[in-house]
Structure formats: structure tokens, C-alpha cells
Amino acid sequence: MAAHSLLRTVLLALTLVVLSTAFSNPLPCTGECIDTHDPSLIRRTSDGTYFRFATGGGISIHTAPSITGPWKTAGEVLPSGSKINNPGADDAWAPDVHYVGGTYYLYYAVSTFGTQTSAIGVATSTSMDAGTWTDHGSTSVTSTTGDDYNAIDPNLIQVSGKNYLTFGSFWGDLYQTTLSSNLESWSQSTPYRIELNSTSPQPSEGAYVYHTGSYYYLFFSSGSCCGYDTSRPAPGDEYKIMVCRSTTVTGGYVDRNGQACTNSGGTLVLGSHGVVYGPGGQGVYDDIVEGSVLYYHYVDTNIGYADGDKVLGINKIDWSTGWPVV
């Protein structure tokens, strides 16, 4: 073998090693880490207890003394379903929790798989314990067949006194609007698109906008989320976590190559690797112990591919390059 072709072989081997170890494994999670589709995490200010909310039923609640556990079941946010009078009211999706002025606001979606009959609702509590939540029903951010967007997967971010709500999935991908100052109702301002993957089936959803340094980072889940136990998409088309960034919350968001997120841009943050398959439904949280973390659900291929098997994943984020690296 000529020296240059040996060198090429060695470089190729090194590249493969680097690619296959590009993502860290999730931090070890203890207690009840399964059944955590589309998690939302927050630490209660009064006593330091961590709360985790997840898709399904009346939005499950788990609590733990640390972000990695041990997690235990702690009831539901909406034990008798949402007040929203849509199909799916007893199976709420994609919780997004925030602490504002002494109250915890939990946004959720009511829809059914594959339809645009959808609405974003909100519930509030001052402690987050089961039995203390008040459901306020629909925010009036809704969608119906034929609309440009699908009103699911809400995410709130407050910027300069305005309450931006990012939402959406498929059907035009990710949109943004604002809520009024009470945080419970739509401002009536027309939603605008902040991300579109023009490749069919326009598979973006689960947005989470996070501000650090000079940028707003738009995290989203791209690909096929669910039902991997009955049919799995072509490799690479399963859920993965992408990001774009912008100096203003309203856009324009671009990826690491400068490609606009509204023009199919997006930089991969976390994809399938090792026993981790289809990571998505993510959020970002500044933990007092672990620092800035990406939290998400994933299939552990040693556990199972069903939606109810999804495991809580937490990875520390390295922001040193100006882009999130896990």
C-alpha cells in the first residue's frame, strides 16, 4: 500500500471514529425515566423539587430531588382531561412549563394524530402538585383543516415584556405569535412562519426557543416521531434534534452554514447513535447543578420502540462555539 493511500485509510478511519462518537450518551437517569414523551422540566423554587411533565392522558407528572432522578410518579395535571372541546381532550400533548410572577404556566396541545383540528391550552398552579392545577382551556391559538399551520407543540419565551408563543408541526412547520399580558390568551396578532422544511413531508415540530449570549436558538424536532414499534422510517428519517439561531426572537433564524431555517435550513444537534434512537421532543434548561442541559425523549434500543417506552435523556450543552454541542 502506497504511503498516501495508507494515510488516506488512516484519516478515513479517524473520521469514522469521530463521527461515531460525535454525541455524548445521556447522563444516567434513575427511578421512573420511561414514558416521558415530549418532556418539560423545571425546578420548583420553593423547595428545589424537580418536576417533569410529559405527553399523554392528562399530562403525567413526575418529581425528583435532582434533574437525573430518582424520578417518581406524581399524578396528572388534568386528571379529567382538558376543557378544550376537541377530539383528543383526554390525551393532551407536548407540555411546556414556565414560572412567571409566582405562578407556573403549563401550555399543552389538544389534537389527534394526523389532523389539523388542534388547539393550544394552558393550565396554572402555584405549586405544580397534582390537584392544584386550574385549567383555563384554549388560549385561542387554534387551527382547523386547511389552515397554514397546526396549533400544537407550544413553547413560550418572554422577551422585553412580550410573550412569544412558538408552535407548529408539519402543515407549514413552525410558526410564532404572541400571547396577551395575562399569558392565558392569544394577542390576536397574526402568526408568522419562522421555519419551513420544504422537503416532503415538512417534518418539523416541537420547537423550543432559548436565549443565550447574543442569540435566540430555535431547537426543533425533525422527522418521524412515533409508532416505531409498528413501522420504522428509513434510517435518518426518524426524529432528530436540529437548531437555527437569530439575533432577534422573531427571526430570521439560520443554521451554521447560514442557510435560512425558513428555507430548509437546520444544523443537527443530536441524532440516533449507539442505543439512542430517534431523540426529540426537546427543551433546554439551566440547571443549578448540571448547568445548561438539553433534555429530550429517545428510544433506548435495549428497552423498546413503543411510544410508551420513550426514555428521558439529558445532555450537558457546550456553547463555546456559539452553537449547541452535546
Total residue count of the chain as it appears in this document: 326
φ and ψ at residue 267, rounded to 5 degrees: -105, 135
The arrangement of strands across the sheet holding 276-287 comes to 276-287, 291-300, 311-316
Minimum distance between the CB of residue 155 and ligand NAG, rounded to whole angstroms?
Answer: 17
Minimum distance between the CB of residue 263 and ligand NAG, rounded to whole angstroms?
Answer: 10
Q: What share of the chain is helix, strand, coil (3-state, %, to 5)?
A: 5, 45, 50
Would you call 38 a catalytic residue per the annotation? yes
What is the Cα 133 distance to its own chain's centre?
22
Considering the candidates 32, 35, 38, 309, report the single residue annotated as catalytic: 38
Cβ-based nearer residue to ligand NAG, 95 or 206? 206
Cβ-based nearer residue to ligand NAG, 63 or 176? 176
Considering the candidates 195, 205, 238, 255, report the single residue annotated as catalytic: 205
> Cell numbers 396554572 correspond to what residue?
124
What does the binding site for ligand NAG look like in residue numbers (CB under 6 A)? Answer: 197, 199, 203-204, 222, 237, 242, 264, 266
Alpha helices in the chain (DSSP H): 3-20
> Cell numbers 423547595 correspond to what residue?
47
- Contact criterion met (CB below 8 Å) for 277 and 283: no
The residue of the chain with the least Cβ separation from ligand NAG equals: 266
Minimum distance between the CB of residue 267 and ligand NAG, rounded to whole angstroms?
Answer: 8
Minimum distance between the CB of residue 224 and ligand NAG, rounded to whole angstroms?
Answer: 8
Cβ-based nearer residue to ligand NAG, 26 or 203? 203
Report the alpha-carbon distance of residue 248 to residue 169 in Å, rounded. Answer: 22
Cβ-based nearer residue to ligand NAG, 82 or 155? 155
The residues annotated with a catalytic role in the active site are 38, 205
